[in-house]
Structure 1
Amino acid sequence: MGADALRALLTRVRYEVLPAKAAEEKVLAHVPRDVVVTVTASPVKGLEPTLLLTERLAAHGYRVVPHVPARLLRDDTHLKDVAERLRAARVDDVFLPAGDADPPAGPYHAALPVLRALTDLGRPFAEMGITGYPESHPLIHDDITIQSMWDKRAHATYIVSNLCFDARVLGDWISRIRRRDITLPVYVGVAGPVQRAKLLSMATKIGVGESTRFLTRHPSWFLRFAAPGGYAPERLLGRGAQAFAGPAAAVAGLHLFTFNQIAETERWRRAALDRLGG
């Protein structure tokens, strides 16, 4: 990827964090206020830890994007209460996946009904994100996931691609959704400079957050971190240069899965920008 294009992506990042112990402290210590922070949600612990961390970080001046999985919402009243609570914290952007809670806490089994309900509430959030699946969803056919994005386009304002380590797969997926006239901007989901030992520890000890659960469904990915010259975010971005940089791709920025290795992620990003003269 050209230096200018890569530098632009590295200045338009979102850091996904888990609402775990010390997460607030790590964000305050290492994340600049101009970096967007997204907060995952756990099907085991529910929305409360996500909402609490969102409120605390927003009070510190961060732009925070809470994950509000459809399957964690108990009913329409719960959705309205969550929306009002987030608006009181001056949150104007939410990420709305279906979530993994099984069974669901209420009537919402997928994100689309929640998006419609928020539209009926007067669209309390300026931005509403949905999930994209560059690699096959474990339970849903690829064509259905793309059709789902098409159905959501009247309500959502952007797409976040789920975690992927293959630049070719990412590029092919972006081309496919654009051919289907899905024009929403995409934040490309990329793992930060994650150390395998810490990632295994995080997955074992916490076991929460969509990013961790998604990764544990793909155990071979752990090997990519251990292999000689294994995973490096810049190498993935470089291999995806043509797919990510072209205007037709409409890539808005990077969604970096930190797995709460927040200091390491920001140190990597800052070093990359320094090397690029940014």
Structure 2
Amino acid sequence: MRNKQSAATLTRLLEHARYEVLPTATTEDKVLEHLPRDRTITVTASPAKGLDATFDLAERLAGHGYTAVPHIAARMVTGRTELSEIVDRLTGKGITSVFVPGGDAEAAGDYPDALALLEDLKDLGSPFSHVGITGYPESHPTIHDDLTVQSMWDKRRYATHIVSNLTFDPAVVKDWVRRLRTRGVAMPLLLGIPGPVERTKLLGMATKIGVGESTKFLAKNKGLFARLAAPGGFTGESFLEKCAPALGEDGALVEGLHVFTFNQIGETEAWRTDMLERLRNG
């Protein structure tokens, strides 16, 4: 039985949830069919599809009235000239928020990591009012935990918020939030969770599409995926309820959810609104 504080925390997180989508041919129609215009939608970047697919979809969604957040994967950008062109393109369409991961690709030019691109964004006049960076509650496959926290500290002058990668362990979330606070990383945090995706299809879809850090994490943690696929192995609602006490301790730091939809957009919005209704009705 959840207490009033946990219920309030869950309500706040769900009210401030944004959705990550993949730039496929059907995404725009799904968003228009299922999501109200007040939802924030982030659009992933894939080496296979290129940045144009990300920007095209983000621009169309912004044109429909959504807050669209394109991912600018640092390693997919060749250098400052291309970055300047990207800035002009996106700001010209009224886009004010971006997300800057390092990305899965080999570096195409001058940006071996997100920090290098963020530094150039600042030199270009900090053209975006909201700039998100990646956080790693789980261990990164190739980077030591202490270095990922240090990386967030290094990026604090260039970013406005952190978007956590997927995690499925409430204890990990609690420890990670504590470590961030202790290190002095005070940026607001959006907690990354998967939407109500059919677990038996999740890894196959993620590997096939091959976009972003979330799929990379799943592909490298197949044992964890097997537990998720088992009946009762994981549900977003149960996970959030277990996280709520820790997240409620510092509402200024954990301000909302970043939901990885894997393009099950209607199902994700139905899950969110249904849970919100039950929370509000006690």
Indicate whether the TM-score tops 0.5: yes
Q: CA deviation at 1:275?
A: 0.7
Alignment check: 8 A CA contact 2:44 2:71 kept: yes
1:12 aligns with 2:16: yes
Alignment check: 8 A CA contact 1:41 1:210 kept: no
1:31 aligns with 2:35: yes
User: TM-score, normalising length from structure 1?
Assistant: 0.96
Match of 1:148 in 2: 151
* Aligned 1:146-225 pairs, distance under 5 A: 146-225=149-228
Query: Partners in 1 of 2:70 and 2:115 — Cα distance?
Result: 17
1:134 aligns with 2:162: no
Match of 2:25 in 1: 21
Cα–Cα, structure 1 residues 201 and 25, in superposed 2: closer, same or farther, change >3 Å? farther
Query: Partners in 2 of 1:89 and 1:11 — Cα distance?
Result: 26
Q: CA deviation at 1:196?
A: 1.7
1:74 aligns with 2:74: no
Alignment check: 8 A CA contact 2:207 2:215 kept: no
Percent identical across equivalent pairs?
A: 55
1:153-174 alpha-carbon deviations (Å, 9 max, x no partner): 1111000010000010011001
Alignment check: 8 A CA contact 1:175 1:249 kept: no
Alignment check: 8 A CA contact 1:40 1:210 kept: no
SS in 2 for 1:190: strand
Query: Partners in 2 of 1:8 and 1:248 — Cα distance?
Result: 9
Structure 1 letter corresponding to 2:90: L
User: TM-score, normalising length from structure 2?
Assistant: 0.94
Q: CA deviation at 1:265?
A: 0.5
1:13-53 alpha-carbon deviations (Å, 9 max, x no partner): 11000111201111111111111100000022220100010
Alignment check: 8 A CA contact 1:130 1:160 kept: yes
Q: CA deviation at 1:201?
A: 4.3
The root-mean-square deviation of aligned C-alpha atoms, in Å, is 1.4
Could you list the runs of 5+ residues in structure 2 that have no partner in the other structure? Answer: none
SS in 2 for 1:14: strand
Structure 2 letter corresponding to 1:20: T
Deviation above 3 Å: which 4+ runs of structure 1?
none
1:106 aligns with 2:109: yes
The number of residues matched between the two structures is 277
Cα–Cα, structure 1 residues 120 and 204, in superposed 2: closer, same or farther, change >3 Å? closer
Cα–Cα, structure 1 residues 209 and 182, in superposed 2: closer, same or farther, change >3 Å? closer
Q: CA deviation at 1:207?
A: 2.7
1:69-116 alpha-carbon deviations (Å, 9 max, x no partner): 1100011110001111110111111100111112x1111001111111
1:64 aligns with 2:68: yes
Query: Partners in 1 of 2:188 and 2:80 — Cα distance?
Result: 28
SS in 2 for 1:276: helix
1:244 aligns with 2:247: yes
Alignment check: 8 A CA contact 1:195 1:225 kept: no
1:233 aligns with 2:212: no
Structure 2 letter corresponding to 1:90: G
Alignment check: 8 A CA contact 2:195 2:236 kept: yes
Alignment check: 8 A CA contact 1:13 1:256 kept: yes
1:52 aligns with 2:59: no
Alignment check: 8 A CA contact 1:243 1:249 kept: no
Could you list the runs of 5+ residues in structure 1 that have no partner in the other structure? Answer: none
Alignment check: 8 A CA contact 2:203 2:218 kept: no
Q: CA deviation at 1:209?
A: 3.4
Alignment check: 8 A CA contact 2:188 2:255 kept: yes
Query: Partners in 2 of 1:111 and 1:29 — Cα distance?
Result: 34
Q: Relative to structure 2, which stretch is displaced further, 44-53 or 215-224? A: 215-224
Query: Partners in 1 of 2:192 and 2:203 — Cα distance?
Result: 19
Structure 1 letter corresponding to 2:36: P
Which of 242, 260, 266 does residue 263 from structure 1 map onto?
A: 266
